Amino acid sequence: MARRKLRLGAFFSMPGNHLAGWRHPDAVPDANTNFAAYMQLAKVAERGLYDAIFFRDTAAVAGADAMHAGDRSRARLARMVALEPVMALAGLASITKNIGLIATATTTYNEPYNLARRFATLDHMSNGRAGWNLVTSQFEDEAANFGLKHHPDHAVRYARAEEFYDVVAGLWDSWEKDAFLYDKAEGMYFDFDKMHFLEHKGAHFDVRGPLNLPRTPQGRPVVAQAGSSGPGMNLAARSADLVFTAQLEIEEARAFYIELNGRLAAHGRQPGDLLILPGLTPIVGRTMAEARAKHEQLQELMPDDVALSSLARLSGGLDLRDFPLDGPLPPLPPTNSGKSRQQLAIDLAKKENMTLRQIARHMASAAGHRVLVGTPSYIADEMQSWLEADACDGFNVICNHYPVPFVEFTEQVIPELQRRGIFRTAYEGATLRENLGISVPANRYAAP
């Protein structure tokens, strides 16, 4: 029996996922808006045979509400601006051939028709390599950019997201695969009976259709989802091909893996229809001592006020500056932002008996994702153990700064995974679905 192979995403959280990573001597501090840096990283990722490039996105400057109220401390933070990810990926489609191209787009502050067209266009431009990371906006800063005084409640955001997905998936089925005839002799451009109006009428959307694009090269773009709360897992179980999640311990990751796969049957799906990729931040050294020294150097670059800002959106409205840094994490009121990420911080602080300073520095260094500090062999050991324990299907690799740590992981850890027979040595197909090993959804209107 063939060994199960890891799936790897290259999560480009630029200029670095570590809040002080941009200050590192090797970092390119403007990498988040430097398209030449994007191209360089995309080429490294494709040489490394990653399944996909992945871009995060928000529809606001992070912390804009606090800055609008006069908080000047955020001038220390780098992840404030970024290129619009779908446009950036469209550019990268022209310099890559096999790697998938996944962008985040919120269901809270978009409309289904525009978004369906945007990702279908990317799928056509890339010959079947597009993916949509479906999110409900966590950041309350976004509301004021769309005429709202308050961010919609968590439950409302997920109800809208469920319907949003249904509309987008329906629009992607507007045309059957062979609808376009291009018959010059008969003067028939398309088969009228293979074009379909969606006629959706729901609580949030009223959309007629059809989409003004043909069916895409991979049937429809891959759908990723990143929610780990109860509503997030329900949405993933019915809609997602990939799930990105934050998991720190193998047993907790395995429990999440089992629970999420267990929810698939209720939606007519089965294990294998959905791939789960926890985030992983690698710090690679030739020796363990060298890797630890790299980690310590990064941590020394981060002032306490910067670290504390990493918890601001999860604080439930508390001003954490009012609490002693060397005291415990105070009880946090429920947040209307990232509920699963808030719970992760609370649980970790309690389990490890962390002070407010310690949990803030942990969240600021990896946004709640697992940090692996060590040699290529050690990091490969840990990745292999999670795969073989059914705690994941692969990992989303997120680096502290760019490009050096990403190049080091790609050139040192991936060959070790290949030697063990748990990572590909060549792409399996031309489309993202083919490389991930996930099926093409049938068009709902086409005859079986």
pLDDT tens profile 262-301: 999 999 999 889 999 999 999 999 999 999 999 999 888 8
Q: Residues 6 or more apart from 121 whose CB is under 8 A from it?
A: 90, 213
Q: What's 7-284+371-436's CATH class?
A: alpha beta
Q: How far apart are CA 162 and CA 169, in angstroms?
A: 11
Place of tokens 């955020």: 74
Model pLDDT, residue 322: 76
Distance CA 27, CA 16 (A): 8
Contact assessment for residue 348 and residue 258, using Cβ atoms and an 8 Å cutoff: no
pLDDT digits (tens, 9 = 90+) for 124-174: 999 999 999 999 988 888 999 999 988 899 899 999 999 999 999 999 999
Mean per-residue pLDDT, 383-394: 97
CB 257 within 8 A of CB 392: yes
Hey, what are 302's tokens? 């981060």
Of 339 and 396, the one with more pLDDT:
396
β-strands 242-245, 222-225 pairing: parallel
Name the token pair of 37: 């840096």
- One-letter amino acid at 411 equals E
Task: Measure the CA–CA gap between 431 and 436, rounded to whole angstroms.
Answer: 9
Q: Is-contact 370 281, C-beta < 8 A?
A: yes
Main-chain dihedrals φ then ψ at residue 236, nearest 5 degrees: -65, -40
Q: What are phi and psi of 284, to 5 degrees?
A: -100, 135
**What is the chain's mean pLDDT, rounded?**
92
pLDDT of residue 276: 97
**Can you give the pLDDT at residue 1?**
46
Structure token digits, residue 127 = 């010959």
Single-letter amino acid code for the residue at 5: K
Neighbours of 154 (CB within 10 A): 20
Is residue 249 pLDDT above 50, yes or no?
yes
Q: What is the pLDDT of residue 442?
A: 93
Write the single-letter amino acid at 295. H
Ramachandran sector of residue 10 (left: φ over 0; alpha: ψ -120 to 50; beta: rest): beta
**CA dihedral for 377, 383, 389, 393, sign (positive or negative):** negative
| Residue 361 confidence (pLDDT) | 76
**Vertex 351: Cα angle to 346 and 353 (nearest 5):** 90
CA–CA gap between residue 64 and residue 434 (Å, rounded): 41
H/E element, 358: helix 356-366
Number of neighbours of residue 372 by Cβ within 10 angstroms: 21
Confidence of residue 95 (pLDDT cuts 50, 70, 90): very high
Helices marked H in 148-303: 154-172, 230-239, 250-262, 288-300
Helices (H) and strands (E) in the chain, counts: 15, 13
